Amino acid sequence: MELTPREKDKLLLFTAALVAERRLARGVTLNYPESVALISAFIMEGARDGQTVAELMEAGRHVLTRAQVMEGVPEMIPDIQVEATFPDGSKLVTVHNPIV
């Protein structure tokens, strides 16, 4: 299977998000990379499902709470930017203060 560098990045991100989901299910608090991966994958999947940029900008703020991440992680992530593939092309989605 031949993958472009961008496709490899997406697979790595999605794999990290799956690890984060499993850790959350076990009650483990997430670290910085796991938190970013989970929110980013949520945005990418939402784009594929046909949600709008505005919908994802708002929904991305409700993926994780402070209680689900390690201390200090929310302050380390002032915003997340994801280039997601929508039905009408790629767009940049920015989620400000993603962990409330």
| Alpha carbon distance 22, 95 (integer Å) | 23
Per-residue confidence (pLDDT) for residue 1, from 0 to 100: 86
For residue 54, the enclosing domain spans 5-96
* Count of structural domains within the chain: 1
Closest to 97 in 3D by CA, of 73, 84, 88: 73
Q: Give the model confidence (pLDDT) of 76-99 as tens digits.
A: 999 999 999 999 999 999 999 999
Res. 19: pLDDT tops 90: yes
CATH number at residue 65: 3.30.280.10
Q: Give the model confidence (pLDDT) of 33-67 as tens digits.
A: 999 999 999 999 999 999 999 999 999 999 999 99
Per-residue confidence (pLDDT) for residue 12, from 0 to 100: 97
Listed in sequence order, the residues at least 6 apart from 47 whose beta carbon sits closer than 8 Å to its beta carbon are 56, 84, 85, 86, 91, 93
Res. 5: pLDDT tops 90: yes
Q: Could you give the C-alpha distances from 2 to 5, 6, 8, 55, in angstroms and in order? A: 10, 12, 10, 33
Hey, is 45 helix, strand or coil?
Answer: helix
Residue type, 84: A
